[in-house]
Every structure is written in structure tokens, then in C-alpha cells.
Amino acid sequence: MSSYKIGVIKGDGIGPEIVQEAVKVLDAVANVEGLSFSYEEFLLGGSAIDATGVPLPKETIEGVKRVDAVLFGAIGGPKWDNLDRHLRPESGLLALRKEMNTFANLRPATVYDELINASTLKPEVVEGVDIMVVRELTGGIYFGEPREYGKDRAYNTMVYTKEEVERIAKVAFDIASKRDKRVCSVDKANVLEVSQFWRDIVEEVAKDYPEVELTHMYVDNAAMQLIRYPKQFDVILTGNIFGDILSDAASMLSGSIGLLPSASTGKKVGLYEPIHGSAPDIAGEGIANPIATIASASMMLKYAFGELSAANRIDDAIKKALADGYRTKDLSAFDAKEVVSTSQMGSIIADYASK
């Protein structure tokens, strides 16, 4: 029996509700796949501020280093919006990613056939869409120095090193080699020196992957093409700020932000989380969609543990639940046979995954 230690960060808002359902599904899969999971909870974000005064306690930094992967819900809310920037929940998450060296953010954008009408785009445009956005997560303009906010001017600095570009490019090419063998590297090399630097290094890395086709696209065109013809993309490789924008745009191809997972991986421990926020306006009402968090648990099984059978079991259970017409409130307008609560959806998927 394979055993894994999972760090659990429930976070704020709907975070505790959706993480609870993902753990429920993990336990169901463990029973049939011969796996053993142990869990250790850590604080992050608003809940950490309330308990300790800081968004990222020392105990959390130390704790994530002794587990095999971290399952994370969501953080933030208006309660903490007026704090100084370094004390806000989001600053805690950025610092945690830096501490964990999770430099690669994997954001799949997959359109479920059962929910094709949920997309705001025409069915023929989004049918069959299956994109993986690989975003560099710990460099670029969000972390570049120097930076300044002044009365008369403010500035940030976009910086990338050769090592940072090489390692994220290798992640993208490795993933593409197991998919449709196509990488589109997105930059702004026509006006930014750092983007030309990025492009040159990506081309060097590509030489080690002759079976993978490499193309380049400017970020403004990539944003347009995601809407015009998203099926042209397999793996999108890009930097931090461009990836932040493009991955959110790609996520809406599915029609609901409540469906899509993500993984932030690096050299050791990865962070697996839904792409949506903490939705404090619906916290505690039992109507949040847990599918993105459950799918994040599936990504954890695949990328952190190499348990492909267990991951596929969860993915198949999600598709079956949707095919059978079960919908949470956010999807109730799309071919719903029964509208279910957060907990009910988790139990349905867990039941399917255990068979």
C-alpha cells in the first residue's frame, strides 16, 4: 500500500466547504486503489491573520516542507481588504509559493461535453477544447526589483534569468510530449527585451524535444486567438503576468470558473488548488461548486504521486456526475436533472469514484 502525507489548507470563505469534499473523494478513491492518505492542516490567509496576526505563519512554512503535497482551498475576503499590502491574505499565498519554490503553474482549460452550452462561446468553437497553460509563477514583474510606489510616479521591473526560463520551458515541453506535442510560447518580444530573452531561451530548450512543435505568439494575439479559435492550442507556455491573464481567459471557455483546477509545482512539494476565489458572499450556504477542488485533488494524484489510475478514477467520476445531470447552483441552468448542494455533489462523485 502506497502512503502519502497531504497538507490541507482550507483557507477562507468557501474554502473549508470545498476542501472537505475533495478529501471525501480522495478517501473514497484510496479505499479502492489501495492507497493511504494522512492529512495535516495548516493556516493561510485571512484565517491565519485572525489566529496569528500574519497571513503566512511560520508553522505553515515549516509544515508544508514535511508533507508530500498540499491541497488548498481559497483565501481572502473584504474583511481583510483594508490591511497593509504585506499583511493581506494574497501576500501570504505569494510568499508561500515562493517558499515552496513552486515555479510552475499548470492551468488546464477543458470543456466538458455535458456542459458545452454553459460556455458563452458557440458550441462549435469550444467543443473538444483541451488546453494546458503553463505559467511561470515565481519570477517576472510580480517579483522583480527595483519597484516603487511614490506620490508622482510608480514602477515595477520585469526580470527573468536564464535558469528561470529554462526550467519552466522544460515543464511545458515535458507535458506537451505526453499530449498532442505542441507548445505555443507567448511573449511580447516585439517590444520587450525580456520577452526576446525568453523567446531565445525557449528555442534553445526546444532543441532537446525534436518531437514537439514549437510556435511563438504575441500575448495580445494569443488573447484574441483564445476566443477566436481555442482548439488551435495544446500547451501554452508563458511568463507570470501574461499567464495570469491568459489562464483566466482560458478558464472561461468552459463556462464556469467552478470547474477548473490548477497545480503549482516545483522541485519538491506542489500546491493543488481550484482557480476560483473564496466567494465569501456564498460561504456557508452549501451551494459552492466543489468540482474544481476535486479535480485539483486528481491533479495532485497525477503530478505529485504518479497515481494515474486513481486520478483517472476521479476524472471519470466527475464526468459521470455531470453526464447524469447533477448540477450545483452555478450550473443549474444547463441541462440539470437535479440541483444538489456542495456536500451532495462531493458524495455523488465519491460514490462514482469508489465503483
Exposed / middle / buried, residue 149 (Cβ in 10 Å: 0-12, 13-18, 19+): exposed
Name the catalytic one among 142, 231, 319, 320: 142
From the candidates 12, 187, 234, 244, which is the catalytic residue?
A: 244
- How far apart CA 286 and CA 341 sit, in angstroms, is 5
Question: What separation in angstroms does the CA of 328 have from each of 166, 288, 342?
Answer: 41, 7, 7
Question: Is 355 marked active-site?
Answer: no
What is the C-alpha to C-alpha distance for residues 158 and 144, in angstroms, rounded to an integer?
5
Contact 182, 176 (CB under 8 A): yes
316 is catalytic: no
Told to judge if 81 belongs to the known catalytic residues of this protein, a careful annotator would answer: no
Catalytic residue among 188, 315, 329, 330: 188
* Catalytic residue of the set 27, 248, 316, 351: 248
**Nearest C-alpha neighbor of 251 from the set 345, 132, 140:** 132
Cell of 249: 481567459
181 in active site: no
Among 220, 229, 267, 355, the active-site one is 220
Residues with catalytic roles: 142, 188, 220, 244, 248
